[in-house]
């Protein structure tokens, strides 16, 4: 009996070893194929080629087959990525993505040149300095938009529902983003956070102290405005959530092995604001860290989530330095809310849907509020692994939903035809319909 058991174990080990050897052989053969193609290009292509560019292009192509956020970072992109989370860099001030080879604005960052010029979420950037953006990578497009300070760059924009290209001349500036703005209305403190960059949590705490003084400590509640906030640093998401939560989980991440789960907890508590009612405003451009905060406050029943469904970026990327000036951004995990909800390609659904009284949500697009979401991106990851049948069903369902959204947008398009772009873009908390509704809802909640 022991002999049979030992023989069986020995057989399994042998099969495993053979399988590993076969896998290694297959990988070696593919690398040999790559080498042959590279050699043929270098020796037979009718013009001289830059081998470094060829290899960089191949690496980018390989990463592009995975998901919209995994990418190879060449020297230029890698250096500029180091700048972006520090709150100061040269550029136009827009977050962009790519869908089916088309460069699309996710959101313009508030108070930046692009924002002031009138660039909008959902705009398709079809030309940069009168050169087509079709056929170039997302990283190359971003690189073209960044450059010498003070110089103007021409962006050719195709806006939804329009056939003519609009041209915007935008001057490159040092982008000194001010992540936090604060106001008060009817005794409620409104905090607008436009990006989760370094010290965002600290800035919010300072804003709270400032507004409390203005209201003589008679604060009735808070509205945390995360609309069009594209995300940023995970640590700052935890810091911001910790301001409004007493304790517990803020977010957890699940990687390739579900057993390797990382959990982030509330860092500190003790704020007077903990007992006051809170509303969080979100929309289709609220992504990543914004969704972490909204999801944490929603799961812990600490805040009322108001607005429209968020973007749905629930994946985690890590930056690995490959060489001195090259890197790899790779999706390694998914975020989950305290209750274990995955938000990838789903987003955070508001407790109370409140549409803007006017604006981009009425314009024809893939989404009913005018925003391109994670689920609209090519090769987007799903929250769970699908069977072929489930994938087919999901594709049919998403197509049907898109058609309904487009039809809904068409019906409402006439309403905004007379609304000036500048009026739509202006951030005015006094007259912002969603903020007004948020205050009314908090007033109603505080009565009970």
Q: Pick from 170, 175, 120, 112: which is nearest to 145 by CA?
A: 170
Residue with tokens 């399994």: 12
For residue 369, pLDDT beyond 80: no
Contact (Cβ atoms closer than 8 angstroms) between residue 338 and residue 249: yes
Give the mean model confidence (pLDDT) for residues 294-318. 95
Instruction: Name the burial class of residue 272, with classes exposed (0-12), middle (13-18) and buried (19+) by CB atoms within 10 angstroms of its CB.
Output: exposed
Quick one: CA torsion of 123, 167, 136, 230, rounded to 10 degrees?
A: -30
Higher pLDDT, 90 or 179: 179
Residue 395: which pLDDT band, with cuts at 50, 70 and 90?
Answer: confident
For residue 4, pLDDT beyond 80: no
State the pLDDT at residue 377.
Answer: 72
Q: What residues are annotated to the active site?
A: 288, 299, 313
Two tokens at 121?
A: 């979420």
The sign of the CA dihedral 148, 150, 152, 157 is positive
The sign of the CA dihedral 375, 111, 156, 364 is positive
pLDDT digits (tens, 9 = 90+) for 235-290: 999 999 999 998 999 999 999 877 778 999 998 755 555 689 999 999 998 999 99
What's the CA gap between 195 and 300, in Å, rounded? Answer: 23
State the pLDDT at residue 402.
Answer: 61
By 3-state DSSP, what share of the chain in percent is helix, strand and coil, each rounded to 5?
Answer: 40, 25, 40
Q: What is the CA radius of gyration of the chain?
A: 25
Contact (Cβ atoms closer than 8 angstroms) between residue 439 and residue 186: yes
The per-residue DSSP string of 258-292 comes to TT-EEEEE------GGGGS-EEEEE-TT--THHHH
What's the CA gap between 401 and 405, in Å, rounded? Answer: 6
The count of other CB atoms within 10 Å of the CB of residue 291 is: 30
Two tokens at 442?
A: 């908090």
What's the CA gap between 192 and 280, in Å, rounded? Answer: 10
pLDDT digits (tens, 9 = 90+) for 182-222: 999 999 999 999 899 989 999 999 999 999 999 999 999 99
What's the CA gap between 250 and 236, in Å, rounded? Answer: 11
The count of other CB atoms within 10 Å of the CB of residue 174 is: 10
pTM for the full model?
0.71
State the pLDDT at residue 360.
Answer: 45
Helix axes 2-44, 51-64, angle to 10 degrees: 130
Contact (Cβ atoms closer than 8 angstroms) between residue 277 and residue 221: yes
Domains and CATH numbers, the chain: 88-175 (2.30.42.10), 177-446 (3.90.226.10)
For residue 5, pLDDT beyond 80: no
C-beta pairs of 339-342 under 8 Å, 24+ apart in sequence:
339/299, 340/252, 341/295, 341/299, 342/314, 342/383, 342/384
State the pLDDT at residue 163.
Answer: 87
Q: Does residue 105 sit in helix, strand or coil?
A: strand
The count of other CB atoms within 10 Å of the CB of residue 203 is: 20
For residue 229, pLDDT beyond 70: yes
pLDDT digits (tens, 9 = 90+) for 89-112: 678 988 888 888 899 998 888 888
Q: What is the mean pLDDT of the chain?
A: 83
pLDDT digits (tens, 9 = 90+) for 124-135: 999 999 999 988
What's the CA gap between 395 and 401, in Å, rounded? Answer: 10
State the pLDDT at residue 84.
Answer: 59
- CA 255 → CA 179, 216, 330, 331, 348, distances in Å? 30, 47, 12, 9, 20
* No. of helices (H) and no. of strands (E), the chain: 11, 19
State the pLDDT at residue 95.
Answer: 83
Residue with tokens 């609009």: 166
Phi and psi angles of residue 259, each rounded to the nearest 5 degrees, phi first? -70, -25
For residue 2, pLDDT beyond 50: no
Two tokens at 344?
A: 């990838």
Question: Worst-scoring range by mean pLDDT, 109-113, 330-334, 342-346?
Answer: 109-113
State the pLDDT at residue 447.
Answer: 67
Two tokens at 1?
A: 């009996």
The count of other CB atoms within 10 Å of the CB of residue 149 is: 11
Instruction: Name the burial class of residue 106, with classes exposed (0-12), middle (13-18) and buried (19+) by CB atoms within 10 angstroms of its CB.
Output: buried
State the pLDDT at residue 272.
Answer: 55
Higher pLDDT, 360 or 36: 36
State the pLDDT at residue 142.
Answer: 86
Residue with tokens 């960044």: 146
The sign of the CA dihedral 375, 377, 382, 387 is positive
For residue 367, pLDDT beyond 50: no
Contact (Cβ atoms closer than 8 angstroms) between residue 68 and residue 377: yes
Residue 364: which pLDDT band, with cuts at 50, 70 and 90?
Answer: very low
């Amino acid at each position: 009996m022991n002999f049979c058991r030992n023989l069986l174990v020995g057989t399994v080990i042998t099969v495993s070893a053979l399988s590993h050897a076969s896998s290694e052989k297959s990988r070696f053969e593919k690398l040999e194929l790559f080498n042959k193609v590279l050699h043929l290009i270098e020796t037979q292509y009718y013009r001289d080629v830059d081998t470094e560019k060829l290899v960089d292009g191949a690496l980018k192509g390989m990463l592009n087959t995975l998901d919209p956020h995994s990418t190879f970072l060449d020297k230029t992109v890698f250096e500029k990525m180091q700048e972006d989370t520090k709150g100061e860099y040269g550029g136009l001030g827009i977050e962009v993505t790519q869908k089916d080879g088309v460069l699309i604005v996710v959101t313009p960052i508030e108070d930046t040149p692009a924002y002031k010029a009138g660039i909008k979420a959902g705009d398709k950037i079809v030309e940069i300095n009168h050169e087509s953006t079709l056929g170039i990578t997302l990283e190359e497009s971003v690189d073209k938009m960044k450059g010498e300070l003070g110089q103007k760059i021409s962006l050719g924009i195709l806006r939804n529902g329009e056939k003519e290209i609009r041209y915007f001349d935008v001057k490159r500036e040092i982008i000194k983003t001010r992540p936090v703005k604060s106001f008060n209305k009817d005794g409620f403190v409104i905090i607008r956070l436009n990006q989760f960059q370094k010290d965002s949590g600290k800035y919010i705490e300072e804003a709270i102290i400032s507004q409390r003084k203005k209201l003589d400590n008679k604060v009735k509640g808070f509205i945390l405005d995360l609309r069009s906030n594209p995300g940023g640093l995970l640590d700052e998401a935890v810091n911001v959530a910790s301001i409004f939560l007493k304790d517990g989980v803020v977010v957890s991440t699940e990687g390739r092995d579900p057993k390797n789960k990382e959990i982030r907890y509330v860092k500190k508590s003790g704020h007077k604001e903990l007992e006051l009612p809170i509303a969080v405003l979100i929309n289709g451009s609220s992504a990543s860290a914004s969704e972490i905060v909204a999801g944490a406050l929603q799961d812990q029943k600490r805040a009322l989530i108001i607005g429209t469904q968020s973007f749905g970026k629930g994946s985690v990327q890590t930056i690995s330095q490959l060489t001195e000036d090259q890197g790899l951004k790779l999706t390694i995990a998914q975020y989950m809310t305290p209750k274990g909800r995955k938000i990838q390609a789903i987003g955070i659904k508001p407790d109370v849907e409140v549409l803007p009284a006017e604006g981009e949500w009425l314009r024809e697009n893939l989404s009913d509020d005018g925003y391109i979401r994670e689920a609209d991106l090519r090769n987007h990851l799903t929250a769970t692994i699908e069977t072929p049948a489930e994938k087919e069903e999901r594709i049919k369902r998403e197509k049907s939903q898109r058609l309904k959204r487009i039809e809904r947008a068409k019906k409402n398009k006439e309403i905004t035809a007379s609304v000036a772009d500048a009026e739509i873009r202006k951030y005015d908390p006094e007259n912002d319909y969603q903020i007004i509704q948020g205050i009314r809802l908090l007033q109603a909640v505080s009565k009970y």
